[in-house]
Chains A and B, each alone.
Chain A
Amino acid sequence: LAKTTQPISMDSYEGQEVNITCSHNNIATNDYITWYQQFPSQGPRFIIQGYKTKVTNEVASLFIPADRKSSTLSLPRVSLSDTAVYYCLVGNNAGNMLTFGGGTRLMVKP
């Protein structure tokens, strides 16, 4: 079971790019990396998922180095509304994909 490690919290300012790194040294060959965003009083929301290299969508980019032992969620030009908790999950359809770590609490300041 791949354990994930993320910073507990991060601060940023509006308009900046934010990079949140997740360590997962024990990632298995068939594991995927998935990031979720959670606002207070809401369920987590899927942001992005990747297996290797780089994935980009309209919300974020996910960078995964060749050894896949870490991944970085990149949020371009954050706004106050990006203040949330961000979770990194690692696993596959065997069930490991369901374990949430501590998450990173991102605070975006004006």
Chain B
Amino acid sequence: SAVISQKPSRDICQRGTSLTIQCQVDSQVTMMFWYRQQPGQSLTLIATANQGSEATYESGFVIDKFPISRPNLTFSTLTVSNLSPEDSSIYLCSVARTGDSYEQYFGPGTRLTVT
């Protein structure tokens, strides 16, 4: 398994501003993912962030809105830019070990409220 921490745990931001979320893993992992979960809903994958390559975004998510950095094998950031109330959500990072299948380990999430 892996221990994952996220900062901040929650934040309230004004519309038009940006929030950068940090994800720290206690071991080196190749594959890291960012998800969004709206209250009472399931998780939606935003992007895959593998070290040494550009992030791969899912349909409906663009780099200008959700820029991602992955400077090393234990850390990543997700920025949510030009915030609107629709961005109010929980943002989670996860990691997975390579192999035939994914076992994902999730961080505790960052609860973002946009006013």
Contacts and interface: CB of A to CB of B under 8 A. Distances in A.
Interface in B68-104: 92, 94, 96, 98-104
B22 interface: no
A87 B44 CA distance: 13
Contact of A92 (B33, B48, B101): B101
Interface residues of B, number: 25
A87 B42 contact: yes
Interface in B23-40: 33, 35
Q: Pick from A32, A43, A99, A100 the residue with the most CB of B within 10 Å.
A: A43
Given A44-B43, A98-B45, A91 B102 contact: yes
B96 to A, nearest CB: 8
Nearest to B44: A100
Interface of B: 1, 4, 33, 35, 42-45, 48, 92, 94, 96, 98-109, 111
